[in-house]
Structure 1
Amino acid sequence: MPGVSGRFSTVVKAKISKLLDRAEDPAETLDYSYQKQLESLQNVKKGIADVVTAKKRLQMQSSKLEQSVVKLDTQARQALSTGNEDLARVALERKNVAQTELQGLDAQVTELEAQQQKLTDSEAKLRTKIEAFRTKKEVIKAQYSAAEAQVRISEAATGVGEQMADVGLAMQRAVDKTEQMRARADAVSELEEAGTFDDLTALGSGEDDIDKQLRELSSGAAVDDELAKMKAELGSGSAPADSKQLEEGQA
């Protein structure tokens, strides 16, 4: 599934890029770039030093060959003055060889001098560029710090920052809970004034209004029955004795 794998790779790269962008500090990036440019400048200076060292070494060899040429020329003259033509020829041959080497060394020294000059010019241009970058770097860092501070201040003032947003949400939750508790307190007070809690207590005992009325009705009927019974007993002839006992009891 090349399409799915390509899409997954794109998503992963996008996530990584976002994380890197969030973790990247412009000040650190600029300082790192400046450090790398200083390392490049140091490498150029090292290259110039190597070229100068090689040139000096060739110049020392060239000086020795010049001295050898003078010496061989003197020896050839001395040999020829003594009549030793063969020795004079050998000295002159060595002189020619030394002169040829000397010309080659001079050409190499000239080339190294040109290379040294080119590196020196490059070093000067690079140093100027790095100095300009350093100045611009400090300006950008200062501007970024000022902008970052301004953002923090604005976020704190408007409450759009992450921390201030959390504080705002917590405050809103506290306000909502307070309003809910106040509404509950008002509801309890209203129910208490209406006597709802008394009715709830009665309901809790298992007796409602209908049961209460039925209980009172039953109680009244029992009293009526008992009263009728007593009347019947009094009507059967036991009234005097009972009246006497009642009067004694009252006394």
Structure 2
Amino acid sequence: MANILKRFGDIMSANINALLDKAEDPEKMIDQYLREIESDLGKVKAETAAVMAAETKAKRELDECAAEAEKMQKYAEKALLAGNESDARQFLEKKADLTKKQESLQKSYEAAAANAAQMKEMHDKLVKDMENLQSKRDAIKTKVAVAKTQEKLNKIGSSVAGAGDAMAAFDRMEAKADKMLDEANALSELNKQEGGIDDLTKKYDSAASTSDVDDELAALKAKMGL
């Protein structure tokens, strides 16, 4: 019994928190403790039932003794009414013996009742502790489930973050390509502008040459009288 109470004391104290902190799988750890407690609780129930049975027996023996003493009292009265004082004395002597026995049985019953009350109180406390542990187990299982879900989300988040880095790299490459294309287009535009000036100059140069020829032709016609 002492070992059972010590086990309950250890489990319900802060020691269980230290044990759970060290456990690789807190969910399995607390399930193991609950199985052990259920086994111990079964032993406590059996012992509590035995002590309560002893109390019931002691009470029954006390009541029977008291009833027998009361019966002797009534027989003594009847004997006196019948004029049999000797018989009445015997009944009273028996009553005296039963009264002494009753005192002893009373003490035994009080002790048995105290033991039963103590065991019942202990049993009820252990049952309540068991319920508290079951609640803790449910809370721990919920936390473990949330933690596992968070781990999955973290892995997915890492993958998404990796994809984001790749997208950023492609964006940088695209920006670089756009820059190169813009520079090439600008250079091409500049080249076109330079070619345009040359062509325009040639146009006027050509026009000037044609005008000179016309002037010379006119002068030649005048000289020839044409």
TM-score of the superposed pair, with normalisation by structure 2: 0.51
Name the structure 1 match of 2:117.
117
The alpha carbon displacement at 1:154 in A equals 4.5
Residue in 2 that maps onto 1:46: 46
Equivalent-residue separation in structure 2 for 1:26 and 1:156 (angstroms)? 25
Alignment of 1:138-217 (within 5 A): 138-151=138-151, 154=154
TM-aligned CA deviation for residue 98 of structure 1? 0.9
Instruction: After TM superposition, give the deviation of residue 64 of structure 1 in Å.
Output: 1.7
Alignment partner, residue 72 of structure 1? 72
Q: Distance in 1 between matches of 2:54 and 2:157?
A: 66
The 8 Å contact of residues 51 and 119 in structure 2, kept in 1 or not, is answered as no
1:153, CA displacement in angstroms?
5.7
Looking at structure 2, the residues matched to 55 and 125 of structure 1 have their Cα atoms a distance apart, in angstroms, of 20
Matched, 1:103 2:107: no
Counterpart amino acid of 2:36?
A: K
Q: Which runs of 5+ in 1 are unaligned?
A: 1-22, 160-251
Q: What SS is found at the alignment partner of 2:136?
A: helix
- Which residue of structure 1 lines up, in the alignment, with residue 172 of structure 2? none
Report the residue type matching 2:132 in the other structure.
A
Q: Which has the larger radius of gyration?
A: 1
Note the C-alpha offset of 1:134: 1.4
Partner of 2:61: 61
Letter in 2 for 1:42: G
Amino acid at match of 2:77: R
Question: 1 CA distance for matches of 2:156 and 2:108?
Answer: 69
Q: Which stretch has the larger CA shift, 75-84 or 132-141?
A: 75-84
Deviation of 1:109 (Å): 1.8
Report if aligned partners of 2:58, 2:112 keep a CA contact under 8 Å in 1. Answer: no
The residue type paired with residue 52 of structure 2 is V
1:121 and 1:132 map into 2 onto residues whose CA distance is 17
Amino acid at match of 1:62: L
**How many pairs are equivalent?**
137
Counterparts of 2:115 and 2:109 in 1: how far apart (Å)?
Answer: 10
| Code of the aligned partner of 1:111 | A
Whole-Å Cα distance in 1 between the matches of residues 80 and 38 of structure 2?
Answer: 63
Deviation at 1:152, TM superposition (A): 5.5
Separation in structure 2 between the aligned mates of residue 119 and residue 63 of structure 1, nearest angstrom? 23
- 1: CA distance between counterparts of 2:120 and 2:112? 12
Post-superposition offset of 1:30: 0.9
Instruction: Report the 3-state secondary structure (helix = DSSP H, G, I; strand = E; otherwise coil) of the residue aligned with 1:96.
Output: helix
Alpha-carbon offset, residue 82 of structure 1? 3.7
**Aligned letter for 1:136?**
K
Mapped pair 1:134 → 2:145? no
Q: Which residue of 1 aligns with 2:91?
A: 91
Structure 1 counterpart of 2:38, one-letter code: L
Q: Secondary structure at the match of 1:87?
A: helix
CA offset digits 1:83-129 (Å, max 9, x no partner): 43333222211111111111222222222222222222222322222
Structure 1 residue 60: Cα displacement: 1.8
**Bigger RCO of structures 1 and 2 (CA < 8 A, at least 6 apart):** 2
Distance 2:75 2:121 in 1: 46
Residue 78 of structure 1: SS of its match in structure 2?
Answer: helix
Which segment drifts farther, 45-54 or 91-100? 45-54
Alpha-carbon distance between aligned partners in 2 of 1:116 and 1:59, rounded to the nearest angstrom: 12
